[in-house]
């Protein structure tokens, strides 16, 4: 994990690309639309799952834009659906927002407003703007009509104010079973906007709420709660994703009928990524059915998953900032996110040597029992990161891929008779191999040139390849978890009939290597620091690590030029 201190990590240092939301707020500030009131925004997650990378965009806009205009942002839990909501989610959401580098002004809950919302419902009933309906959910759906056909009035629509008040109060006091009655706004059953066809305001639900317990057995619908919660908090700009655009007339209707603070809803495009699902319902299914190891599985697009994977808040903010905000939905290539992450890690990650699939080499002319230290830069991009000492000895591990007994064309790494550089150490030349019964190479015998210490030969001799290594005697055993895309297809939700998104899962999304060796300095590896295993990729320590058994996650592979050559050759 790369938990960082929010103090040293505020979002305001990143360049901000232009977006229409900023222009709109700037205009409202200029015209003093809200007088001298400060810009107030809110981030309103429903605590029914963990936050994902899409939420990072909403968070960045809500907090970032308010901050830019000297305003404030509330974190408000939209907790109107007790059956799906849990304290675990409330806690994880707070942790994730802070990890991204943002701090809220007030911590709010829609459930704090249940009393006020109830009073306002009574007010709408008294004004003849709301009624209790006894139709079943099915009947309500049938009466609603379609996009091409107007709806029909419910037979209960014209109940008297007195009867409505009486029934609604009895709904609240628990007299009626779940689903037997609802409170509806009385708007227009012929409206071309289906959301305006007498939407349900309250439903009966005898469920225990994670905050209000059994105090309520009626719960407000999202549309009835959201705008009024904004208004109570004097939210000036209520930013949400485009699927709520059709709800905006209803958002405004409630506020106007109640004559309360005129918060304004503004919609922007959802963040969508290739090879990624950003639906809490589907992510929950992946967790519940065990397709991943949990909400924080490093293959998940949740903030807790990508944090465990080694992604950093700096890179995520830079990415969502660059994604900007528009009024049309699109889909961003996952490689753009990876690009921002590589860029950040390349600057900050400490280098280390690790051999994932080891092959032993023995340097026959290096004295047995001898060892020495070579000095290595911690980060060539950052001299301030200093250097460290890495032990070198007669027996070393290199990657199996870095040796070929019979080298293919253009293969410049170690092979019999070929000389290569061991990074930061010496030139070595391979001479012979030892094989196991099945014919695979288990050991390569080499000689080294003692004059080439540090990686250069005094006679100016050139080698075509530099490979990494660890000293067999000093190396630490490690488990390395390699991750690939969780889904095989760019749009995993797009499936033919009879299939589900689960059919698009990548069976090879996790590969566990248990026999890796890493240089001894990684005994001090911490969850906070990213590492670049030289020539292999970016890695971070996994919380499963113990002092006796290091576990590393691959955050991202380096771009591998050899893999490209091989691919081309194969194609």
57 near ligand ATP, judged by CB under 6 A: yes
Residue among 16, 95, 270, 453 flagged as catalytic: 270
Q: How far is the CB of 53 from ligand ATP (least distance, A)?
A: 8
Measured from each CB, the residue nearest to ligand ATP is 54
- In whole angstroms, give the CA distance from residue 499 to residue 410: 44
Structure token pair of residue 483: 């991750």
Pick one of 173, 208, 279, 389: the residue that binds ligand ATP (CB under 6 A): 279
Residue among 280, 350, 388, 418 flagged as catalytic: 280
Q: Which of residues 466-525 bind ligand ATP (CB under 6 A)?
A: none
Candidates 55-63, 303-311, 355-363, 442-450; binding stretch for ligand ATP (CB under 6 A): 55-63
Candidates 166-174, 271-279, 300-308, 541-549; binding stretch for ligand ATP (CB under 6 A): 271-279
208 near ligand ATP, judged by CB under 6 A: no
Q: Which of residues 230-249 bind ligand ATP (CB under 6 A)?
A: 240-241
280 near ligand ATP, judged by CB under 6 A: yes
Query: Which helix H or strand E contains 479, and what residues bound it?
Result: strand 476-483
Pick one of 270, 453, 474, 485: the residue that binds ligand ATP (CB under 6 A): 270
46 near ligand ATP, judged by CB under 6 A: yes
Site string for ligand ATP, 416-445 (x = CB under 6 A): ------------------------------
Structure token pair of residue 293: 């190891």
* 8 A C-beta contact, residue 332 and residue 322: no
Q: How far is the CB of 425 from ligand ATP (least distance, A)?
A: 48
Mark residue 69 as left, alpha or beta (left: phi above 0; alpha: psi -120 to 50; beta: remaining): alpha
Candidates 50-58, 297-305, 332-340, 543-551; binding stretch for ligand ATP (CB under 6 A): 50-58
404 near ligand ATP, judged by CB under 6 A: no
Q: Which of residues 344-403 bind ligand ATP (CB under 6 A)?
A: none
305 near ligand ATP, judged by CB under 6 A: no
Structure token pair of residue 61: 């806009």
Residue 374 sits at φ, ψ, to 5 deg, of -110, 145
Number of residues in contact with ligand ATP under rule CB under 6 A: 14
Q: Is 270 a catalytic residue?
A: yes
Q: How far is the CB of 332 from ligand ATP (least distance, A)?
A: 10
Pick one of 2, 34, 41, 54: the residue that binds ligand ATP (CB under 6 A): 54
DSSP single-letter state for residue 332: B
Q: Is 564 a catalytic residue?
A: no
- In whole angstroms, give the CA distance from residue 410 to residue 430: 17
Of the pair 219, 517, the CB lying nearest ligand ATP is at 219
CB atoms within 10 A of CB 146: 8
Mark residue 275 as left, alpha or beta (left: phi above 0; alpha: psi -120 to 50; beta: remaining): left
Q: How far is the CB of 52 from ligand ATP (least distance, A)?
A: 7
- In whole angstroms, give the CA distance from residue 223 to residue 230: 11
Of the pair 46, 405, the CB lying nearest ligand ATP is at 46
- In whole angstroms, give the CA distance from residue 490 to residue 118: 45
How far is the CA of 345 from the CAs of 225, 452, 525, 531, in angstroms?
42, 31, 16, 8
Residue indicated by tokens 């675990």: 88
Of the pair 276, 504, the CB lying nearest ligand ATP is at 276
Residue 360 sits at φ, ψ, to 5 deg, of -80, 135
Pick one of 132, 278, 359, 525: the residue that binds ligand ATP (CB under 6 A): 278
Candidates 39-47, 203-211, 516-524, 537-545; binding stretch for ligand ATP (CB under 6 A): 39-47
Q: How far is the CB of 308 from ligand ATP (least distance, A)?
A: 20
CB proximity list for 56: less than 8 A, separation 6 or greater: 100, 271, 303, 316, 317, 320
Q: How far is the CB of 239 from ligand ATP (least distance, A)?
A: 7
Q: How far is the CB of 320 from ligand ATP (least distance, A)?
A: 9
Q: How far is the CB of 501 from ligand ATP (least distance, A)?
A: 13
The number of residues making up the chain comes to 571
Of the pair 84, 157, the CB lying nearest ligand ATP is at 84
203 near ligand ATP, judged by CB under 6 A: no
Of the pair 289, 368, the CB lying nearest ligand ATP is at 289
* 8 A C-beta contact, residue 397 and residue 371: no
Residue among 14, 16, 46, 252 flagged as catalytic: 46
* 8 A C-beta contact, residue 522 and residue 550: yes
Q: How many CA atoms lie within 13 A of 100 on its CB side?
A: 32
Q: How far is the CB of 248 from ligand ATP (least distance, A)?
A: 13
Q: Which of 526, 512, 4, 91 is nearest to 296 (CA)?
A: 91
> Treating both helix axes as pointing N-terminal to C-terminal, what angle do 248-258 and 114-126 enclose, rounded to 10 degrees?
80
* 8 A C-beta contact, residue 413 and residue 420: yes
Structure token pair of residue 95: 């942790």
271 near ligand ATP, judged by CB under 6 A: yes
Q: Is 413 a catalytic residue?
A: no
Candidates 169-177, 210-218, 270-278, 404-412; binding stretch for ligand ATP (CB under 6 A): 270-278
* 8 A C-beta contact, residue 247 and residue 52: no
Please give the radius of gyration of the chain, using alpha carbons only, rounded to the nearest integer.
31
Pick one of 21, 45, 297, 463: the residue that binds ligand ATP (CB under 6 A): 45
Q: Which of 275, 379, 293, 287 is nearest to 337 (CA)?
A: 275
CB atoms within 10 A of CB 546: 7
Pick one of 21, 25, 41, 55: the residue that binds ligand ATP (CB under 6 A): 55
17, exposed or middle or buried, with CB in 10 Å at 0-12, 13-18, 19+? exposed
Structure token pair of residue 465: 């390849």
301 near ligand ATP, judged by CB under 6 A: no
Residues taking part in catalysis: 46, 270, 280
Which residues are at the interface with ligand ATP (CB under 6 A)? 44-46, 54-55, 57-58, 240-241, 270-271, 278-280
């Amino acid at each position: 994990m790369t938990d960082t201190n929010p103090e040293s990590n505020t979002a305001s240092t990143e360049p901000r690309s232009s977006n229409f939301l900023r222009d709109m707020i700037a205009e409202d500030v200029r015209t003093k639309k809200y007088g001298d009131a400060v810009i107030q925004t809110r981030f309103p997650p429903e605590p029914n799952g963990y936050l994902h990378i899409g939420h990072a965009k909403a968070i960045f806009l809500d907090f970032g834009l308010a901050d830019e205009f000297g305003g404030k942002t509330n974190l408000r839990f939209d907790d109107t659906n007790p059956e799906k909501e849990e304290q675990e989610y409330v806690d994880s959401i707070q942790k994730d927002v802070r990890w991204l580098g943002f701090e809220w002004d007030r911590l709010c809950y829609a459930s704090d407003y249940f009393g006020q919302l109830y009073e306002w419902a009574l007010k709408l009933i008294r004004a003849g703007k709301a009624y209790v309906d006894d139709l079943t959910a099915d009947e309500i759906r049938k009466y609603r009509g379609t996009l091409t056909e107007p709806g029909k009035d419910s037979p209960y629509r014209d109940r008297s104010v007195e009867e409505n008040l009486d029934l609604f109060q009895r709904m609240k006091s628990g007299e009626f079973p779940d689903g037997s009655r609802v409170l509806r706004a009385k708007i227009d059953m012929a409206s071309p906007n289906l959301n305006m066809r007498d939407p349900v305001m309250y439903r009966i639900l005898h469920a225990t709420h994670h905050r209000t317990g059994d105090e309520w057995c009626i719960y407000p619908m999202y549309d009835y709660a959201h705008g009024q919660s904004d208004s109570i908090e004097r939210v000036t700009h209520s930013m949400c994703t485009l699927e709520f655009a059709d709800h905006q007339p209803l958002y405004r209707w409630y506020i106007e009928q109640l004559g309360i603070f005129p918060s304004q809803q503004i919609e922007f495009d959802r963040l969508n990524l290739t090879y990624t699902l950003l639906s809490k319902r589907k992510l929950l299914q992946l967790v519940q059915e065990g397709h991943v190891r949990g909400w924080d599985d490093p293959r998940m697009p949740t903030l807790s998953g990508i944090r465990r994977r080694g992604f950093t808040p700096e890179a995520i903010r830079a990415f969502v900032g660059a994604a900007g905000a528009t009024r049309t939905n699109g889909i961003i290539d996952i490689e753009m996110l990876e690009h921002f992450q590589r860029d950040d890690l390349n600057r900050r990650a400490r280098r280390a040597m690790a051999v994932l699939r080891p092959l032993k080499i023995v340097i026959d002319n290096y004295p047995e029992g001898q060892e020495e230290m070579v000095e290595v830069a911690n980060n060539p991009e950052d001299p301030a990161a200093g250097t460290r000492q890495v032990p070198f000895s007669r027996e070393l591990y290199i990657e199996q891929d870095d040796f070929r007994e019979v080298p293919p064309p253009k293969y410049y790494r170690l092979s019999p008779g070929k000389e290569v550089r061991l990074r930061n150490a010496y030139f070595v030349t391979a001479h012979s191999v030892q094989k196991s019964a099945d014919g695979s190479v288990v050991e390569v015998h080499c000689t080294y040139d003692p004059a080439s210490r540090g990686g250069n030969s005094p006679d100016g001799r050139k080698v075509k390849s530099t490979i990494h290594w660890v000293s067999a005697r000093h190396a630490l055993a490690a488990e390395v978890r390699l991750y690939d895309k969780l889904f095989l297809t760019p749009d995993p939700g797009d499936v033919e009939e009879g299939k589900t998104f689960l059919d698009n899962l990548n069976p090879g999304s996790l590969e566990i290597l248990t026999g890796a060796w890493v240089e001894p300095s990684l005994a001090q590896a911490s969850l906070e620091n990213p590492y670049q295993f030289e020539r292999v990729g970016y890695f971070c320590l996994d919380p499963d690590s113990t002092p006796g058994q290091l576990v590393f996650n691959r955050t991202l592979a380096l771009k591998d030029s050899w893999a490209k050559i091989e691919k081309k050759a194969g194609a």
